[in-house]
Amino acid sequence: MCVPGCQEVLRRTLTRRGFVGAGAAASVAAAMAPGPAQAQAPRGFKRIVDLTHTLSPEFPTFFGGPGIELQRQFDLERDGFNLNWWRLIEHAGTHFDAPLHFSAKGGAVESFAPDTLVVPLAVVDIRARAAKNPDYLLSRQDLLDWEKKHRRLPNGCCVAMLSGWGAYVTDEAKYTGRRDGVLHFPGFSSEAAQWLVGERKVWGLAVDTLSLDHGPSKDFAVHRIWLGSGRWGLESVANLHELPATGATLMVGVAKVAGATGAPARLFAFV
């Protein structure tokens, strides 16, 4: 059965025959598979928003060092073509978190099928609260308030936190909030993550900050709950402020690398 509003949201996004999970994602996929009634013809879209920051050695990272280094191995004048080798932290820039990042037997990035990576996107705007408190935790109440305005979160969606931090990526001090070894930026609360795992059918969490957990977190509780449940995350997402709260479709173009716990992802939103 489709809850009130659900069919309409799905109709506005994608035709999806149902989630086809792979590897560790299979059990989550089975639990979230929408029924035939939800496999509707999609409506079109009018624009594509790039939700991806450009990664460079200057892009802020959780640990402070460069997230990527490019080494020119072949040079056009000398060799006839240009080619670099990268040294890359697989969790740098706009990137994907796989269950394996925080669980011993969780799926790696290549275990997610396309049907689990093209999903409805719900944007929860906490900018006003985060402006007053940089350590703000997105709460279950914030999600309930969102549903009161926009109907129930659509099955198989990604829930994105719009904190406003995406505007700070060129200012390392502001983006990380690093003071005395502690970071400061907003994140999901573990209560909200737990509620989404238990009470809604959601594939992904996304944040416009460095981490699903807020900056001061020491236990990475949200990472443990969310990735441990077989779901995926997205961090350092760009341009969420350009999207409507509901109605966009997210395409997660995550690099398909065997055994990776995370990977750079090109994110497009179809509005």
In terms of Cβ atoms closer than 10 Å to its own Cβ (0-12, 13-18, 19+), residue 79 is: exposed
Are the CB atoms for 120 and 206 separated by under 8 Å? no
Candidates 3, 30, 37, 70: give the one binding a second copy (CB under 8 A).
70
Are the CB atoms for 254 and 112 separated by under 8 Å? yes
The CA-to-CA distance between both ends of the chain, in Å, stands at 26
Are the CB atoms for 226 and 197 separated by under 8 Å? yes
CB-based contacts of 171: which residues, under 8 Å, 6+ apart? none
Candidates 4, 81, 132, 149: give the one binding a second copy (CB under 8 A).
81
Candidates 118, 124, 130, 202: give the one binding a second copy (CB under 8 A).
118
Between 101 and 136, CB nearer to a second copy: 101
φ/ψ of residue 146, rounded to 5:
-60, -45
Query: Is 131 an interacting residue with respect to a second copy (CB under 8 A)?
Result: no
Query: Is 156 an interacting residue with respect to a second copy (CB under 8 A)?
Result: no
Between 87 and 179, CB nearer to a second copy: 87
Distance in Å, CB of 194 to a second copy, minimum:
19
Q: What character string, x for contact with a second copy (CB under 8 A) and - otherwise, covers 198-237?
A: ----------------------x--x--------------
Candidates 90, 125, 208, 235: give the one binding a second copy (CB under 8 A).
90
Query: Is 181 an interacting residue with respect to a second copy (CB under 8 A)?
Result: no
The rounded distance, in Å, linking the Cα atoms of 231 and 1 is 23
The rounded distance, in Å, linking the Cα atoms of 172 and 160 is 22
Selected range binding a second copy among 77-85, 165-173, 180-188, 200-208, rule: CB under 8 A = 77-85
Query: Is 50 an interacting residue with respect to a second copy (CB under 8 A)?
Result: yes
Candidates 85, 170, 171, 216: give the one binding a second copy (CB under 8 A).
85
Candidates 32, 34, 52, 121: give the one binding a second copy (CB under 8 A).
52
φ/ψ of residue 69, rounded to 5:
-130, 135
The rounded distance, in Å, linking the Cα atoms of 203 and 118 is 10
The rounded distance, in Å, linking the Cα atoms of 236 and 33 is 28
Between 133 and 266, CB nearer to a second copy: 266
Q: Which residues bind a second copy (CB under 8 A)?
A: 14-15, 17, 41-50, 52-56, 68, 70, 73, 76-77, 80-91, 93-94, 100-104, 110, 113-115, 117-118, 220, 223, 251-262, 264-266, 268
